[in-house]
Amino acid sequence: MASLLALMVASPAWAQSGMSPNSAASGTRSAHTTQDVRFVMAASAAGDTEIMASRLAQKQAQSANVKTFAATMIHDHTMANEQLKAIAQKDGYSIASMPTETQEANLAKLRPLHGADFDKAYATMMVSDHRDAVALFQSESNSGNNADLKAFATQTLPILQHHLSMATSL
């Protein structure tokens, strides 16, 4: 939760960089809202982090269930990231180029672990990360201003809720 909260309150530079006008499908020009800019940054960083952690899980996990879950995370988050990147490119948003400091610290905690120790730490991370992601996507779905991002959040939310349920059962 801390990682997404940090993104939600972080860097006014994101808001400034996202305030450039974009061309909407209707041809009108509108400024990016701070919420939408932060959503794109947080969602893209979170998606990339899920993929990195899950790639580690495929190599270092002991449990077949964890490895199967990791494969699902890689597939689903890769697809979601591709959709988000396409929307960002079309609508003129910047995506995160790396995990947040908190996300990188969480990945660093996973890297030296193997077997059952890895499984436990990975499962804990996935539950926490997916709780945060569900909250982030719910917020964008409810009150985002960019129609493309709002639709993406609404479409992706049930998948993230399912991931949370799966992670909780690990």
* Contact assessment for residue 169 and residue 63, using Cβ atoms and an 8 Å cutoff: no
- Give the CATH number, domain containing residue 129: 1.20.1260.10
In a domain, 8, yes or no: no
Rounded to two decimals, what is the model's pTM?
A: 0.81
Angle between the N-to-C axes of helices 2-9 and 115-143, in degrees from 0 to 180, rounded to the nearest 10:
40
Report the pLDDT value the prediction gives residue 41, as an integer from 0 to 100: 96
Tell me which of 30-34, 68-72, 75-79, 96-100 is least confident: 30-34
Span 140-162, pLDDT tens digits: 999 999 999 999 999 999 999 99
- The torsion angles phi and psi of 33, rounded to 5 degrees, stand at -85, 155
In a domain, 4, yes or no: no
In a domain, 15, yes or no: no
In a domain, 90, yes or no: yes
Q: What is the domain extent for residue 105?
A: 32-169
* Domain total in the chain: 1
Cβ burial, residue 144 (10 Å; 0-12/13-18/19+): buried
